[in-house]
Amino acid sequence: MYDVCIIGAGPGGIFSAYELMKYRPNWKIAVFETGGPLHQRKCPIDGDKIKSCVHCPVCSIMSGFGGAGAFSDGKYNITNEFGGNLYEYIGKEKAIELMDYVDEINCEYGGAETKLYDNFDTIIAKKCLQNNLHLLKAKVRHLGTDINYIVLQNLYKQLEDKVEFHFFEHVTRVDHLESGYQIETSKGVYTGARCIISTGRSGSKWMESICSHLGIETKSNRVDIGVRVELNADTFSELTDSLYESKIVYRSKTYQDRVRTFCMNPHGVVVNENTNGIVTVNGHSYTDPKRFTENTNFALLVSNHFTQPFHQSNQYGENIAKLSNMLGGGVIVQRFGDLIRGQRSTPDRIQAGFVRPTLKATPGDLSLVIPKRQLDDIIEMIYALDKVCPSTASDDTLLYGVEVKFYNMQVDVNKHLETCHKGLYVIGDCSGVTHSLSHASASGVYVAHDILEQES
């Protein structure tokens, strides 16, 4: 019988465990995780013998200690303008306070030498507005993929002797008992007085089944579909040197759709990502200058909100990603000039270009994969960005597809992030409330404090 059972060892679960351990060292706390500890998270893709996803039983990139963000570029955006709507539940001031607190902990455990960017520049913001682009305000702590890993290592060392970690133990069922909750896993059955679910975006289908079983109401959320843009680092240097992570939003003229930049990686690399067996694309960047590349990459995403009767937004995104996997055997790459001319990219055309791809992907035609509406939105925004950062719309700019950001359905929780069952909390990205490392981590701290206050 545990005092608290935590399902998922991503940022939400880690920070819940950290706070509970800090203030209640005598409590029995269990963390159940489908993946493995950090040092055992190894993707077999080496670019030589294994060049594409082999569909491991458990994806080491998406699952394990640190969650899907363990190998990300480690950007913690401290803002209420994007990254989720946690503030709607706990208040704007509280949300920022908790994100700042998470930043302090990250610095304490290895991130102190990294830079905190004040992500707003009035001159750049004005230049964006003059071209119908909107620069969002935020503070950004960029740990980098390398330092982010070190921070997670140090947090795990702090927790491993005080919290019981059940790695490679997939939770199959959660039941509400009079005395708390029963957790069934692939290896056994456990009980806990309280249960915190923090399974991230990759646990979206699992979360849907849990909510159905426990009678927790949900509503459909959105899915973001787009491409990963890769270009010469000098093209975006004015933005990245000043802001590092520039979040820019555009409203397309043709469809009035919302298009945004996401996850900007100056001097970074483009990488594969596996979500529920589907290969999509993402980007990483490092703090260490020795690991810099000559390119910058970022996502351009179109937000898709669906109305009744359709409620399978994630399946919609998955099917588009499957087309890319079908045609390209994984991720497809295309030069912007080829896309505009209506011709597929070939290995020779990619090789002749001035932008060297950092990901080995299949040259092809994204117009056969991405629906016309979303593709028109993306092309329109690239031309808008070209006015702020000239040469964005260069023939040699590379577009990788597809990039899909899946969002969990919105789980019905109250201001404590607690479900209709007392003592059962749903936090992080699996709740549909948060969409970022900082918001997910803050939600973990918030719920831990709520449990502690009830026991005080």
For the domain that residue 7 is a member of, what is the CATH number? 3.50.50.60
* Residue after which a domain boundary falls, among 384, 406, 428: 406
Residue 240 belongs to some domain of the structure: yes
Domain range holding 349? 223-406
DSSP helix/strand/coil, 38: helix
Question: Is 126 domain-assigned?
Answer: no
In a domain, residue 134? The reply is: no
Q: Is residue 36 part of a domain?
A: yes
Same domain, 84 and 188: yes
Cα Rg of the chain, angstroms: 21
Query: How many domains does the chain contain in total?
Result: 2
CA distance 140 to 137: 10
The partner residues of 434 in beta bridges, in order of sequence, read 84
CA 26 to each of CA 5, 6, 23, 160, 164: distance values in angstroms, whole numbers, following the listed order: 15, 16, 9, 14, 13
Q: In the structure encoding, which two tokens stand for residue 114, read together?
A: 């990294």
Task: Per residue of the chain (456 residues), give pLDDT as tens.
Answer: 999 999 999 999 999 999 999 999 999 999 999 999 999 999 887 767 776 678 888 988 889 999 988 988 888 999 999 989 999 999 999 999 999 999 999 999 999 999 898 877 889 999 999 999 999 988 989 898 899 999 999 999 999 999 999 999 999 999 999 999 999 999 999 999 999 999 997 777 789 899 999 999 998 767 899 999 999 999 999 999 888 788 999 999 999 999 999 989 999 999 988 776 788 999 988 888 999 999 999 999 998 887 777 777 878 888 999 999 999 888 999 999 999 999 999 999 999 999 999 999 999 999 999 999 999 999 999 999 999 999 999 999 999 999 988 777 889 999 999 999 999 999 999 999 998 999 999 999 999 999 999 987
What is the CB neighbour count within 10 angstroms for residue 186? 12
Q: What is the pTM of this model?
A: 0.81
Question: Number of C-alpha atoms within 13 angstroms, CB side, residue 259?
Answer: 28
Same structural domain for residues 268 and 308? yes
State whether 88 and 209 are in the same domain: yes
pLDDT, position 36: 96
Give the strand order in the sheet containing 139-142. 75-78, 139-142, 115-118
Task: Give backbone dihedrals phi and psi of 104, rounded to 5 degrees, phi first.
Answer: -60, -40
Confidence (pLDDT) at 3: 97
HSE, side-chain direction, 13 A CA sphere, residue 230? 33
259 lies in the same domain as 169 = no
pLDDT for position 47: 65
Three-class SS state of 426? strand
Does residue 131 lie in a domain region?
A: no
Helix or strand run (H / E) with residue 5? strand 2-7
Looking only at the bridges linking them, the beta strands covering 332-335 and 362-363 are: parallel
Within this chain, do residues 247 and 335 fall inside the same structural domain, yes or no?
yes
- 275 and 164 belong to one structural domain: no
- As a whole number of angstroms, the longest Cα–Cα distance in the chain is 67
Residue 97 to residues 80, 93, 104, 285, 342, Cα–Cα distance (Å): 11, 6, 11, 27, 49
Pair 321, 404: CB distance under 8 Å: yes
Whether residues 175 and 248 share a domain: the answer is no
> Taking the mean position of all CA atoms in its chain, how far away is CA 442?
15
Instruction: Report if residue 33 sits inside a domain.
Output: yes
Are 239 and 155 within one domain?
no
Residue 80 is assigned to a structural domain of this protein: yes
Same domain, 441 and 294: no
Assess whether 322 and 426 both reside in one domain. Answer: no
Which residues, 6+ apart, have CB-to-CB distance to 261 below 8 Å? 246, 247, 248, 298, 299, 300, 385
Residue 401 lies in a domain: yes
Using DSSP bridges, classify how beta strands 189-197 and 29-33 pair: parallel, antiparallel or unpaired: unpaired
Q: Are residue 198 and residue 263 in the same domain, yes or no?
A: no
Whether 175 and 49 map to the same domain: the answer is yes
Please state, in angstroms and rounded to a whole number, the distance separating the CA atoms of residues 164 and 145.
Answer: 26
